[in-house]
Amino acid sequence: MTAPASPTPSAPSLQGPTLATQLRHTAGCVLAVEQGRSLSEVLPELVPALRPGVQALTFHALRHLGTARALVNQLVERKPAPPVQALMSSAVALLLDATDEHAPRYPAHTVVNQAVEAARQDRRTERQAAFVNACLRRFLREREALLAHVAADPVARWNHPLWWIERLQRDHPEHWRTLLEANNQPGPMALRVNRRRVERTAYQQALEAIGLTATPTGSDGLVLDAPQPVERLPGFAQGHCSVQDAAAQMAADQLLEGRAWTAADRVLDACAAPGGKTAHLLERADLNLLALDVDPRRCERIEDTLQRLGLQATVRSADAAQPAAWWDGQPFDAILLDAPCTASGIVRRHPDVRWLRRASDVDALVATQRGLLEALWPLLKPGGRLVYATCSVFRAEGDGQVQSFLVRHTDALHRPSPGHLLPGSAAPSGEFNDNPPGGYDGFFYARIDKVLP
C-alpha cells in the first residue's frame, strides 16, 4: 500500500473558503469516519477548492480525536447528536496545543466564532449554535482543569482506541509509547526515482534547481524536506518519479536481491494495486510480470501507473486466493504478496485507520493472509522465493503469521529479512534500516524460499 504525504495546512485566503465552511465540512468528514467510512472515500466527494484545507483540518482532528472526544464529554451533561459532537470535537482539536509543526493554528477566539458560524450553516446543527458557543467558551475558561481530568484516560492520552494501545503494549513493550507518538505526526514525503528514466543523483539535482532539498534513502529513494504537490516535481508526468514511502520501496530489494533476472522470469504481484511495488520491480528488472488485484477499478490504477512510468505488465482482476480461476499452471520464479492488513503501520498518513478498525478485524485479516499464503505457495517453483509483506505493526500479521507458515511447510526456508519496521523514530536500528529522514512507515517483510527437492 502506498500512502500519500500529509497535507500542509494554511489559513484560507480572503478569496478562499472561510474557516467556518472548512470546519463544517471537517465535522462532516469526522462524522463519516465515526460512522465507518474511510477518508479515501469521503474526501474526493468535496469540491476541489475545499479539499486541501478540509483534509488538513480533518487529519488534525483525527490525530487528536481521543482527547477531543473526552473533553467534549466533560463539557456536556448529555451526549449531543452526532453532527454536533463531530463539530465540537473538530473545534476542540483546533483549540488544543499542537504537537507537530504542521498543525493548523488559529487564534482561540477565531476558532470559537467560526465553529459557531459553522453550526449555523448546517441544518443539523443550526439550533445548537448557542450551545456550541457556550461549551467552547467554557473549555477556554477551564482548559487546564479539563485537560487534567481526562489525562488518566489512555484513549485521551494517546489518541488511539484502547484495544489498539493494549495490543501494541503486548507486541512492542519497549517501543509502544514512541510508536503511538509517531502515529500522531505526519509522515515525510518520499519519492522513488525511476532509474529507467533518470539517475537518482541527476533527479536530486533537478529538485535542487527549483529549490527543493531531498535526502537519498534506499536504492532509489529521496525524502523531501517538505511535502510538495506532485505537479511541482520535475518530470512527474513523464514518469521520472513516484511518491512511495521508503519502507514500501524495500519490497523490490527483498524480491530481486542476490540474482540476475531476465524477461523470461515469471513474477507474480498478487495484491498489486495501486501498482507502486509492481512498477518498482519493473523499473529494476525486465520481468514477465503478472499483476493481480481483486478490484477491477484498482486494476485501472495499476494500468495508469505503468503507463505514466513507461512500463509493461499483464494486469488482471482476479482473487489471488482462487488460483483455479486465473493461473495457467506455469510456476512462478518469484511471488510478492503484499497482503491485505489492518494498515496499522501507515496511521501517520491515514489517521482515520485507527478509528475505523475494530479488534476483531485483526483475526479476520490474519485468516485472509493465511489463506493467500496457502493458495500461492504451490504456485512457486522449487528454488523460487516469496516475499510476504504487510503495512502493519501488529505481530499477528507479521512474525506470528510467518512462524505459523514455517511450521506448516517443511519446504519453506526463512531468509534474512527486515521483519517489523516501526513508524518514525520507533524503527529499530539494524542492517535493514538506513534511517531515512522521518523514519519508515510501519511495515513487515519476510522472504521465504522454496527448498529444492
Catalytically active residues are 391
Residue 419, sorted as left (phi over 0), alpha (psi -120 to 50) or beta, turns out to be left
CA distance 275 to 272: 5
Residue 88: closest CA among 11, 154, 10, 31: 31
d(CA 195, CA 359): 41
Q: What is the DSSP letter of 440?
A: B
Q: Which residue has the cell 473549555?
A: 139
| Dihedral pair phi/psi, residue 61, rounded to 5° | -60, -40
Q: How many residues does the chain have?
A: 453
- What stretches of 145-272 adopt beta strand conformation (E)? 190-193, 214-217, 221-224, 241-243, 266-269
* DSSP secondary structure of 423-435: SBTTSPPSTT---
Q: Are the C-beta atoms of residues 153 and 64 closer than 8 Å to each other?
A: no
Nearest Cα to 439, choosing from 185, 257, 242?
Answer: 185
- Separation CA 405–CA 386 (nearest Å): 12
Instruction: Give the three-state DSSP class for 134.
Output: helix
φ and ψ at residue 287, rounded to 5 degrees: -140, 155
Nearest to 61 by CA among 357, 324, 354: 354
Q: Which residue has the cell 507458515?
A: 405
Would you give the end-to-end CA distance of the chain in angstroms? 34
